[in-house]
């Protein structure tokens, strides 16, 4: 089979791919979601499982997804279809692509709402709302925001328009140039926060909390959550990395780039977690606060540090940016499919998709006020009704299942030769190790986690 080329264009260089993939991976998942998930699930043991999942499941699957994408050079649905036909397998593998597109839409719907909170916080930082704010003050400012659906809707709308705008410009004219400057800046700002936390927060307790493993605090559903978050944070299991791989020039090493992206993503999450919990413990706040965790804690730190208004505004600006570079990828698989199969113009495809996600976002907005209800998931009290349901169904179920299918596809369906061909840079032992992991270890580990979570094991 001769090499395919993508009709949507290609990354101009290896660095561009790394930036774009890191941009997709690092987002609200690292700074907003990881700390609150860790807090809800008791800290250390959750973090350890999360790290193990990243190493044994996440990064190997990222390689699988990227290589499938580069081999097929089309949207996930069409790539999985053509590659399975090529391998003499059932064309139904494309259903994995469908599930992924759907998951992307759902994730974007709530992602945009949270990104809207971030925008709102940027404005509040600029106006000096948080100067010398107390823990209670910060808590009530947050509560005021999330119980005001109209305000949330306005910010959600602004963020969705930003997302549609970039997606409609296409792959190579998107955000890469800005990402080149802003991603390193975000990293720097997280370091500033960590430095502040080390001096003024309860750094030792935060460290202990995140790295001291007490397995009695972790339920089987918590393990599933940790695995789901490994997928969420690396943007796996829904075809996003597959699409990014389809724009990857041949000759770039998939193994090296995936490992790099995985490590950077992990580093940002751990640093974000350390900063957050130092402030949580120093101010006597609750670790299991839920989705409001960073919005209630980080402003306290900015309110106290010299130049806090400036740093705080910059931090939330960069967080908006990190969310933006992720949000655009969440609908890229669906947009690429609409262009390929419905011959839609990119701009129309982006607007339609964005509008559906926008509408669905209203569910999340209301989950924090009028429609809120609580339920338990694996011993954790979830207080934000449908938002939590949407998150659990996508992050803990659809993304891992999608990822499992990608692993099986690369490990068992595709011809070994095609796989070797795409992973060209990974020679000898490295390849054998990865191939063994993706065929046996990853599926077995995932199966075990699923079965335990549903109580079979
Ligand atoms: N990884 C992103 C984050 O941590 C969220 C995300 C999940 C995502 N799946 C994705 C982003 C797919 C882009 C594409 O915030």
Per-residue pLDDT of 55-72, as tens digits, reads: 999 999 999 999 999 999
Task: List the residue whose alpha carbon is closest to atom 14 of ligand 1.
Answer: 330
Q: How far is CA 24 from CA 39, 122, 277, in A?
A: 24, 21, 25
pLDDT in tens, 305-348: 788 888 889 889 989 989 998 998 999 889 988 998 998 999 99
The pocket around ligand 1, CB under 6 angstroms, is made up of 24-25, 27-30, 107, 232-233, 235, 238, 240, 326, 329-330
Q: What pLDDT band is residue 200 in, cutting at 50, 70 and 90? A: confident
How far apart are the CA of 322 and the centre of ligand 1, in A? 10
Of 111-125, 167-181, 401-415, give the lowest mean pLDDT range.
Answer: 167-181
Task: List the residue whose alpha carbon is closest to atom 11 of ligand 1.
Answer: 326
What pLDDT is recorded for position 189? 84
**Helices 59-72, 76-86: crossing angle, 10 deg rounding:** 80
Task: List the residue whose alpha carbon is closest to atom 6 of ligand 1.
Answer: 235
How far apart are the CA of 320 and the centre of ligand 1, in A? 14
What pLDDT is recorded for position 175? 52
Average pLDDT for 19-34: 93
Residue 1 has pLDDT above 50, yes or no: no
**Residue to mutate (ligand 1; options 108, 258, 326; most atoms within 8 A of CB):** 326
- Work out the percent of the chain whose per-residue pLDDT is above 90: 71
Give the ligand 1 atom nearest the CA of 232.
7
Residue 212 has pLDDT above 80, yes or no: yes
Query: How far is 147 from 34, CA to CA, in rounded Å?
Result: 23
Which of 184 and 241 is assigned the larger pLDDT? 241
The full 3-state SS of 35-57, as one line of letters, equals: HHHHHHCCCHHHHHHHHHHHHHH
Q: Is 207 exposed, middle or buried (0-12, 13-18, 19+ CB in 10 A)?
A: middle
Query: How far is 107 from 121, CA to CA, in rounded Å?
Result: 21
Q: How far is CA 13 from CA 20, 24, 25, 105, 251, in A?
A: 11, 17, 18, 28, 11
Rounded to 5°, the CA angle 118-121-122 comes to 90
Query: How far is 318 from 185, CA to CA, in rounded Å?
Result: 8
How far apart are the CA of 387 and the centre of ligand 1, in A? 16
**Residue to mutate (ligand 1; options 38, 76, 100, 232; most atoms within 8 A of CB):** 232
Q: What does residue 342 show for φ and ψ, rounded to 5 degrees?
A: -110, 5
What pLDDT is recorded for position 26? 94
Hey, CA dihedral for 99, 102, 107, 108, is it positive or negative?
Answer: positive
**Under a CB-based contact definition with an 8 Å cutoff, are residues 359 and 157 in contact?**
no
Q: 375 in helix, strand or coil? A: strand
pLDDT in tens, 131-146: 999 999 999 999 999 9
Give the ligand 1 atom nearest the CA of 30.
4
Residue 415 has pLDDT above 80, yes or no: yes
pLDDT in tens, 236-291: 999 999 998 998 888 889 999 999 999 999 999 999 999 999 989 998 888 999 99
**Residue to mutate (ligand 1; options 28, 97, 107; most atoms within 8 A of CB):** 107
Query: How far is 9 from 255, CA to CA, in rounded Å?
Result: 22
- Work out the percent of the chain whose per-residue pLDDT is above 70: 97
What pLDDT is recorded for position 409? 97
How far apart are the CA of 162 and the centre of ligand 1, in A? 16
What pLDDT is recorded for position 151? 97
Residue 2 has pLDDT above 60, yes or no: no
Of 199-203, 266-270, 362-366, 432-436, give the lowest mean pLDDT range.
Answer: 199-203
């Amino acid at each position: 089979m001769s090499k395919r080329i993508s009709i949507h264009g290609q990354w101009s260089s290896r660095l561009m791919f790394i930036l774009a993939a890191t941009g997709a991976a690092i987002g609200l998942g690292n700074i907003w979601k990881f700390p609150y998930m860790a807090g809800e699930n008791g800290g250390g043991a959750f973090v350890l499982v999360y790290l193990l999942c990243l190493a044994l499941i996440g990064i190997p699957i990222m390689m699988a997804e990227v290589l499938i994408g580069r081999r097929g050079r089309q949207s996930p649905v069409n790539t999985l279809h053509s590659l399975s036909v090529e391998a003499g397998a059932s064309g139904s593998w494309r259903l994995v692509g469908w599930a992924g597109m759907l998951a992307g839409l759902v994730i974007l719907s709530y992602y945009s709402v949270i990104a809207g909170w971030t925008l709102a916080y940027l404005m509040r930082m600029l106006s000096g709302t948080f100067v010398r704010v107390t823990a209670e003050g910060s808590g009530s400012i947050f509560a005021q925001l999330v119980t005001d659906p109209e305000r949330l809707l306005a910010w959600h709308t602004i963020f969705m328009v930003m997302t549609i705008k970039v997606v409609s410009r296409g792959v190579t004219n998107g955000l890469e140039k800005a990402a080149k400057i802003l991603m390193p800046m975000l990293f720097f700002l997280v370091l500033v926060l960590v430095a502040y936390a080390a001096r003024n927060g309860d750094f030792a307790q935060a460290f202990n909390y995140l790295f001291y493993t007490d397995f009695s605090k972790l339920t089987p559903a918590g393990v599933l959550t940790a695995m789901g978050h490994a997928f969420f944070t690396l943007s796996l299991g829904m075809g996003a990395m597959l699409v990014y791989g389809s724009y990857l020039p041949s000759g770039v090493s998939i193994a090296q780039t995936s490992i790099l992206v995985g490590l950077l993503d992990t580093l940002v999450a751990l640093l974000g977690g350390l900063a957050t919990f130092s402030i949580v413990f120093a101010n006597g706040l609750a670790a299991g606060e839920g989705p409001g965790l960073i919005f209630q804690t980080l402003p306290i730190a900015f309110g106290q540090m010299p130049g806090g208004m400036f740093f705080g505004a910059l931090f939330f600006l960069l967080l908006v940016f990190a969310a933006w570079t992720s949000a655009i990828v969440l609908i890229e698989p669906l947009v690429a499919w609409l262009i390929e199969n419905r011959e839609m113009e990119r701009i129309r495809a982006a607007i339609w998709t964005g509008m559906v996600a926008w509408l669905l976002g209203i569910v999340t907005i209301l989950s924090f006020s009028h429609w809120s209800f609580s339920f338990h998931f694996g011993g954790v009290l979830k207080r934000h009704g449908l938002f939590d349901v949407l998150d659990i169904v996508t992050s803990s179920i659809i993304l891992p299942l999608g990822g499992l299918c990608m692993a099986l596809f690369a490990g068992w369906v595709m011809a070994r030769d095609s796989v070797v061909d795409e992973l060209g840079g990974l020679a000898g032992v490295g390849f054998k190790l990865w191939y063994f992991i993706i065929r046996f270890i990853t599926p077995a580990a995932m199966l075990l986690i699923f079965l335990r979570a549903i109580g079979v094991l």
